[in-house]
Structure 1
């Protein structure tokens, strides 16, 4: 199962996320669930870092991806991260046994 953990601040703005695990809906390299989630996460990271020019703390290994905003979230980072979440939620609806999304507030 893929686990998506969102971290939000006291104002409910997303400040980071961690995605780990595998959907196991197809052989490695052919799993559309893993590919979709990975594409959404990587697009959000690139949008925040390259397009908006924001500083982030980013990590990636064989088990997953983590991202944390260095500065305060704003409407632009929020738009990117909430749009990512919309896509993740749609995938989770289609594959509820393969994707779990949780929110943590700080």
Structure 2
């Protein structure tokens, strides 16, 4: 199962996330759930870092990725991260045995 853990601040803004695990929804290299989650996460990271030019702290290991904003969240980072969450939520609805979303408050 893929676990997506979001961190929100006191204003409910997403300040970071961690994604770990495997969907196990198809053969290696053909898992559409894993591909969908990876695409949304990577596009969000690139949008924040490359397009918005915000600094982030990024840690990638063999099966997971962790991203934290190095700056205060704002409406633009919020738009990117909330859109990522919308996509991940839809995937989790379609594949509830493959994706779990957890939210933490700071």
Q: Does 1:91 align with 2:91?
A: yes
CA distance in 2, matches of 1:9, 1:33: 28
TM-score where L is the length of structure 1: 0.98
CA distance in 2, matches of 1:35, 1:59: 19
TM-score where L is the length of structure 2: 0.98
In the TM superposition, residue 5 of structure 1 has moved relative to its aligned partner by 0.1
In the TM superposition, residue 60 of structure 1 has moved relative to its aligned partner by 1.3
Aligned-residue CA RMSD (Å)? 0.5
Can you list the C-alpha shifts for 1:30-73, whole angstroms capped at 9, x where unaligned? 10000000000000000000000000001112211110000100
For structure 2, which runs of at least 5 residues remain unmatched after alignment? none
Aligned residues: 106
Worse-matched range after superposition: 58-67 or 43-52: 58-67
Q: Which runs of 4+ in 1 moved over 4 A?
A: none
> 1:43 aligns to what?
43
Question: SS at 2:81's partner residue?
Answer: helix
> 1:64 aligns to what?
64
CA distance in 1, matches of 2:38, 2:62: 12
Can you list the C-alpha shifts for 1:58-101, whole angstroms capped at 9, x where unaligned? 11122111100001000000000000000000000000011000
For structure 1, which runs of at least 5 residues remain unmatched after alignment? none
